[in-house]
Structure 1
């Protein structure tokens, strides 16, 4: 049986649409991420994922590696 987890992560430094797109692209690459919403205004992302396939630490690391260099 698949266990889905919902996690909200603060996005520090994500201040523009290009940053939000970088985070979105990074999250699309994580196996097990089923759904996510990047909220640019509140600088958070809410992610639904299969915790048998990924973990919060993997997701956080992937987001951190998706730096936005446009500023």
Structure 2
């Protein structure tokens, strides 16, 4: 198991958090995640035999909301 903490720049609403959460839940190997809009971070626990930190970062980048 590994843990990745990412900054969610521009994630300012529940829709942003939901988009990131849905994208990460669909990624193979993600075990647990916490999206904190107040601090604009996501903490992801994942199986590093099934996915990589780079894949997680790419998934978050694709799912992140544009600035409102």
TM-score bracket relative to the smaller structure: over 0.9
Could you say which structure has the higher helix fraction?
2
Q: Which of 56, 61, 66 in structure 1 is aligned with 2:53?
A: 56
Whole-angstrom distance in 1 between the partners of 2:43 and 2:35: 7
Per-residue deviation at 1:67? Answer: 3.2
1:41 equivalent to 2:38? Answer yes
TM-score normalised by length of structure 2? 0.93
Structure 1 outlier segments of 4+, above 2 Å: none
What are structure 1's unaligned runs of at least 5 residues?
none
Per-residue deviation at 1:58? Answer: 0.2
- Tell whether the 8 Å contact from 1:12 to 1:43 is kept in structure 2 after alignment: yes
Report how many residues are paired: 68
Per-residue deviation at 1:70? Answer: 7.6
- Tell whether the 8 Å contact from 1:20 to 1:38 is kept in structure 2 after alignment: yes
- Tell whether the 8 Å contact from 1:18 to 1:70 is kept in structure 2 after alignment: no
What are structure 2's unaligned runs of at least 5 residues?
none
Q: Which of 5, 19, 38 in structure 2 is aligned with 1:8?
A: 5
